Structure formats: structure tokens, C-alpha cells
Chain A
Amino acid sequence: MIEIESVSKAYGGVRVLDDVTLTIPTGGITSLIGANGAGKSTLLSVAARLLPADSGRVRVDGLDVATTPSAVLARRLSVLRQENAMSVRLTVRELVAFGRFPHSGGRLTREDHRLVDEAMAWFELGPLADRHLDQLSGGQRQRAYVAMVMCQGTDHVLLDEPLNNLDVRHAVQMMRMLRGMADELGRTVVLVVHDVNVASCYSDRIVAMREGRLVAEGPTAELMTPELLREVFDVDVAVHELAGRRIGVPWS
């Protein structure tokens, strides 16, 4: 469980997060949606202690992220940011193996190696295992990063735009993987996604933000309404029911 308590954050006088209070329950997929600059990524970064909050606090399983030792948190929560300009030339296997760093430092146990193989298999990275990251396409690299985060084996997994650079096939595959992580492995997955329909089709809960404030949160079906989407995105979105899913169509 992630408890966010009246968190505010400003950059150079501009309030990016304005008194956000939110509880993300254990299990399932929660998607943060909102227009550009709504504060989704900042909220994710604050929750993952990558950014300090100006005020308020965040607790993960009751641990205050600002005061708990980073190494302790790294075994409970993992995060992948949107921008991952990694200049380091590691092979895919080396990168994924670093996901075990919080557990065993650099010395991998047999169990660690098994988890590395498992994570690579999940994301179909086997054939790329010995390639260097700079020899991969953007989408392959993205899958390698997510595999590393998965390999970290934390109960909470926070991902900022995990579908970046992925083509349709791999995007669908990625969402299925994340669904699997939530359903089969019992992980709590929190995503920032820009496509409402991805949020609608794959997540259990939606958190909608606008201009640094929380607009609404709740089960996906309740939030996929034309009124709410209009309020969040400032665009008319028609919502249709298709094969049991709610699909928003902004182009009309």
C-alpha cells in the first residue's frame, strides 16, 4: 500500500503538485492519467523518493520514503522513469542482473541467476542476452529496463510510460506482462500512461490528475465517463462500450 499525504511540489514557483492525498491499495494495476504537465510523473517520482516533496509525506507499507534507508526501500519498491539515457554499455543480461543488486550486492546467488533468467524469459530477451544496450532498438531497450525492474522482485512496481517506444505487438505484450505481474505474482503496479484506453483496458483503478491536483480516483469503470475525461483532458471524449471494455474516442 502506498499512502500519499498532502504532497506538494513546486519547480521555480510553479506548483506541479498541489496538496495531493491518495492511497493506492495493495495489488492490481493503478494508472495515473492526465494531460501533459498534470503532475503524474512528478507524483510517481516523489512516491519513489527520486524527488523530495516540498511538503507532505509518502509511506510505502508504512515506511516513510523520505527517512527510510534507500537500500531498505529498494527491496520493497522499484521505479523506472520515462527518460533513461543510460550511457553505460552493459549487456542485457548484466543490466537485468543489476536488478538483484538490492538483495545480494554484486554477488549473485544461484537463486538470483534463476530470477534473472525468468525475468529475461518473461520479456523475450533471451536472444538478446549478450547484446550491449547500445546495439538495441528503443523498444528492445525499454523491455530490458522493465525486465530489470521486475527482476528486482519488489511488491510495488512504479513505471512511468512503460509503453514508450513499443510497437503495438510489444505494447500489448508489455501490458499483459504487467497484468500477469499483478495477478500471478501479486505485485502492486502503478503506471503513468498517456493513452486513456490502455488505462481503461488494463488497469483496475484510475487516478486522474489535472494541474497538479487530484481530480478523481476509483475503479476504472466508474471513471471512464465522458464527463470525467472532459474535465481531465479538456477535450470531448465519446465513450463506447466495445467487447465489454470502455473505449474513449476523442476524435470526432
Chain B
Amino acid sequence: MTTTTDRRDGAAPPRVRRRRGVQRWHVTAALAALVLAAAASLFVGVGDLTPADVLDLDEAQARVLWASRVPRLLAILLAGSAMAVAGLVMMHLTRNRFVSPQTAGTTEWVGLGIVVATLWAGGTSVFGKMVVGVVFALVGTALFVWLLQRLVLTDVVVVPLVGILLGGVVSAATTFLAYRHDLLQTVDVWMNGDFSGVLAGRYELLWLVLAATVVAYLWADRFSVAGMGEGFAVNLGLPYTRVVMLGLAIASVVTAVVVVSVGSIPFLGLVVPNLVTLAMGDNLRRVLPVTALTGAAFVLVCDVLARTIRHPYEVPVGMVGGVVGGVLFVWLLLRARRRVA
């Protein structure tokens, strides 16, 4: 993102580009596309349900709609928007575009939390797992930040590498524990993002992440200021450390709740905020709502793909997300490179 490192004042001014960035109609169009896709997703699945049926539902169709399709759609929208926003907040507070819940090790900590909860907390309730998952996510993120403050890092890429290494170690511990207690498959099922298990009564915890997203929006300006760096933030009277801690806590809680409820969707928290800020800049008050919408759309599209690729079977949405997100990420890197060159 440093296109002008060596440009001196007085040299030729940067060439004027045609007006870029997001205009209002882009957002409107995206919103319309999201609503359409959301409606479409209600009618994709094994159970027969067409738009015409909605006017006159028989009992079986009503059950499919209200117990499965609608909860699934809500889960997708909640998880997608919240994870994208969590990534956006993390990226700002660590001042590094490559830091997200998936590259800071947060996701892996939640996985360890799930295994620990299953083994020792006895309670296999979703709520119990979530509480332990949240605690592990908070501890893991705090450890990551603690490490960052103590390491002298010169390269932006080292930061996410540290996170990925940390995540690797935690993930190894998780696998070891799970292997010893014959839980490997359980871990796999919990970790891999998949909405096929979402039914009424099993996703409601996700409403918590909506609350977290709203809090993040209310604090958007503070996060923007914190993202300017400690010197600027203190100058503007921001309680810097407190804001950073609170923001990272929000991101950790969101990650834990989403992973416990539906599993991890690779790249979501990394690619979506990067794409949106690339187009719109970094003023969070403007960018955060669009990031939330884009995150929801990303997961929705991935889920519809996951449901239709091998119809009537489903592939896990985490897998589709990995492929789509991976391609987008490579494109993003190539594009960033072209901008620098």
C-alpha cells in the first residue's frame, strides 16, 4: 500500500486518475444483489420448496422453511457480516492488513477451547462450548498482542506469520488432544464451516455477534483513530490501550461464537475487509457497513455454491470459501503488486 514512498515534493505530481472508488449506486446494486441471493437461498435444497409454494405452504413445507431454510439464511448473514467486521477491526487495531482472526491464531484457540470443553467441562452443550471458546479466543488474542509488543518487527508480513505459527502450535495441541481421546472427527466437524447443521434452536447464539457488530459500528471512529497509530491516537485524546483491547475482545468473541456455531470460514475475515478498504479507504464509519454486507454476501454465495455443486449432496461451505477466498486473495496480492510497480 505504499505507492509513494520515494516521491519527493516538487517532483511531478501524481497523475490524475479517473474518479475511482465506491459510489452510491454500487452499494445499492450490491444490496439488491444480496437481497436477491438471500431470497434464492431459501429455495435451494433437497426438500421441495418453490417461491410459488410460499403463498400456500403445506405442513411439511412450512417446517422446512421455518426450521431449516430461514434459520440457515439468518445464520449465514449473521456469521458472514460479523466475521468480516471482526477482521476489519483486527486489521485496524494491529495496523496490519494481513491480520485477521484466521491469521492471528484466534480460530485455532477456539478449536482448542472446543476440545477442552468436550473433554473436561463435560457439558457438550453449545453454550458451554461457546463460553470456553470465548475464553480461549480472548487468551489467545491477548497472547498474540503481547508477543507483538515484545518482538521488534520490521516487516509487515512477519506479524501474520507469527500469528499463523502460533495458530499452528495451538492447532497441533488440539489435534494431539483429540487424537488421544478419539475426537479427531468431532474436531473436524466443529471446525469446518458448514451451515447444513443449522436448524431452529441451534443457531440462536449467533444473534450475539449482531450485538458485537453494532458495538463495533458505534465505536467505528475510535477504531479509525486507533488505526492511525498510538501517537495520533493519544494526541486526539483516545484511551489507546483500552480501545485496542476492547476492539480485539470484540473480534475474539465474534470469532468464538461463529466458530462454535457454524465453524470456520477461511479467508472471510481477511479477504473481505481488504477488498472493501481497497475500494473505499479506511474510514471505518463509512467502510464498516459495506464490509458487513460484503461479508454476508460472500458467505451467502459460497453457501449457495456449496449446496448446488453436488446437488442433492452438500460440500462444506468452509471448503468453497477456502477456494473462492484463496483466489480472491491471490488476485488482491497481484493487484497490490501492480499498484506498487
Give A residues with C-beta under 8 Å from B. Answer: 48-50, 69-75, 78-81, 84-91, 94, 98-99, 101-102, 105-106, 132, 134-140, 149, 152, 165-167, 170
Contacts and interface: CB of A to CB of B under 8 A. Distances in A.
Given A134-B2, A139-B9, A50 B231 contact: yes
A152 B236 contact: yes
Contacts of A50: 230-231, 234-235
Q: How large is the interface on B (under 10, 10 to 19, 20 to 34, 35 or more residues)?
A: 35 or more
A46 B85 CA distance: 36
A90 B10 contact: no
Interface in B3-17: 3-4, 7-11, 13-14
Given A90-B283, A135-B14, A49 B234 contact: yes
Nearest to A168: B10
A135 B221 contact: no
B285 interface: yes
Given A88-B224, A89-B277, A135-B4, A106 B285 contact: yes
B335 to A, nearest CB: 14
Main secondary structure of the interface of B (DSSP, over half): loop
Contacts of A72: 237
Contact of B232 (A70, A86, A137): A86
Interface string B224-263: 1101111110111111000000000000000000000000
A137 B228 contact: no
A137 B13 contact: yes
B1 interface: yes
B293 to A, nearest CB: 20
A234 B270 CA distance: 53
A87 B10 contact: no
B340 to A, nearest CB: 11
B232 to A, nearest CB: 7
B237 A106 contact: no
Given A138-B8, A170-B9, 12 more contacts: A50-B231, A50-B235, A80-B235, A81-B231, A86-B229, A88-B227, A91-B283, A94-B281, A99-B236, A137-B8, A137-B11, A149-B235
B277 A79 contact: no
Contacts of B95: 87-88
B235 A48 contact: yes
